[in-house]
Structure 1
Amino acid sequence: MSGALEKSLAILEYLVAHPDGVALARISTELNMLRSGCHRTLHELIGYGYVRQMPHKGDYALTTKMASMGLSFLSRSGVVDIAQPVIDRLARTTEELVRLAIVDGERLTLVAKAQGAKSGLLYDPDMGIDLRLSCSAAGHAWLMTLPEDEAAARVSKQGLGSPRQFGPNAPTTLKALQTALRAHAKRGYSLIQDGYAPGMSSMAAPVRRKGEPTTGVLVIAGPSARLTAKSMARFGPELMAAADELAMAGQASPLLKSANVGTWGNGSDEDDRY
């Protein structure tokens, strides 16, 4: 690995998954960096306030500076202010977890949520993660709006989900994924059971104005024992109506309005979609 910027970004992205801190030796080994260069880059990041060194073992961890920047960005973008009332209402209606993911280039990232379940088993994944496109309802809802070759290219670049890493029903081939995407597109929203995680069901609808690219995805998720195929079919019209409402209101948010514009084509060719 070469280049000061590349090294810095690799370290920052690596440390996101290690909030308790990581030793220098492990960082340099797993990122294939010389220990001396890794040490120098870490201390430059400390100087800029992005990394801190733990007081006892000397491990390295992120500070809250990046999180603060991200939250400030989302706040100024207006997306949470616009989306939260819609998400809250859908969560109350379904009594399940509702999430909004934003299309950001090649990524689909969770940015807002509302928990509708008041008791029993709650499903609540970490916010800010980049979702696996091949086996998440959100990923499928986005992919089904893209031309087939673009969808396949995005999934191939990120990698297919496997049952060992995700749920037993996660697609393991592009052919299986394409079959699922066609069914989702015909329905108008994606529907997955035991795909993203064992025992978890989810459904998602794209946030998009007619003839324009998908800018986000609205998701309902919950335990499979409660969020059954029957209940998801019942929630389908409300999910799509909420997604349409967000698509219209999203014109007031710079982030939602500009998401996915100018990347991989505009996704506006109806004839090439699933």
Structure 2
Amino acid sequence: MGQAARLSCTSTGLAWLMTMSDEQAAALVLKQGIGQPKEFGLDAPTTLKALAGFLHAARVRDYAMIDEVFAPRMSAVAAPVVSGSSSVGVISLAGARARLTVEKIHEYSVLLREAANELTQLSTMAGFPARPRLGKG
């Protein structure tokens, strides 16, 4: 979309980070830099504490969601695809906030999590190897 996506400001980034410990997630976000509201949406987390709140909520729900975090008037939902103990992918749905309301996000999250779970099962059955985490050689 013409700009770099920050892990801290995207539903896909948050879905991936939610599969890690807070310390691992913070290390990756600090390496990349925390997105700021002037660059992204009004509700972009600006501190590690705020990021931890997003991640905690995502873990409780079992999916990540954003509402005016990546861009003004944009919402998104994402679920990780896990193989073993690592996330090997993420699937997401994004759209205009006027159409992808918070209520719709919760509704669609059921289908998204079902799809992510199916992909998890298929990747496990296929012996899909977990990739090394970003930043490790």
TM-score where L is the length of structure 1: 0.46
Code of the aligned partner of 1:182: H
Q: CA deviation at 1:147?
A: 1.2
Name the residue aligned to 1:172: 46
Task: Spell out, residue by residue over 1:205-243, the C-alpha distance to the aligned partner (whole angstroms, 9 max, x if none).
Answer: 00013x420001001100001000000111111100001
Task: Tell me, yes or no, if the aligned pair for 1:136 and 1:192 is still in contact at 8 Å.
Answer: yes
C-alpha distance in 2, partners of 1:199/1:253?
39
Task: Spell out, residue by residue over 1:80-126, the C-alpha distance to the aligned partner (whole angstroms, 9 max, x if none).
Answer: xxxxxxxxxxxxxxxxxxxxxxxxxxxxxxxxxxxxxxxxxxxxx47
Name the residue aligned to 2:74: 200
Q: CA RMSD in A?
A: 2.3
Q: Which runs of 5+ in 1 are unaligned?
A: 1-124, 266-274
Return the index of the structure with the highest Cα Rg: 1
C-alpha distance in 2, partners of 1:262/1:161?
21
Name the residue aligned to 1:258: 129
Q: CA deviation at 1:260?
A: 2.6
Q: CA deviation at 1:244?
A: 1.1
Which residue of 59, 83, 98 corresponds with 1:185?
59
Q: Which runs of 5+ in 2 are unaligned?
A: none
After the TM superposition, which residues 94-243 of structure 1 pair with which residues of structure 2 at under 5 Å, given as runs?
125=1, 131-209=5-83, 211-243=84-116
Task: Tell me, yes or no, if the aligned pair for 1:137 and 1:190 is still in contact at 8 Å.
Answer: yes
C-alpha distance in 2, partners of 1:130/1:248?
31
Name the residue aligned to 1:25: none
TM-score where L is the length of structure 2: 0.89
Percent of residue pairs identical: 42
Return the structure number with greater relative CO, CA threshold 8 A, min gap 6: 2
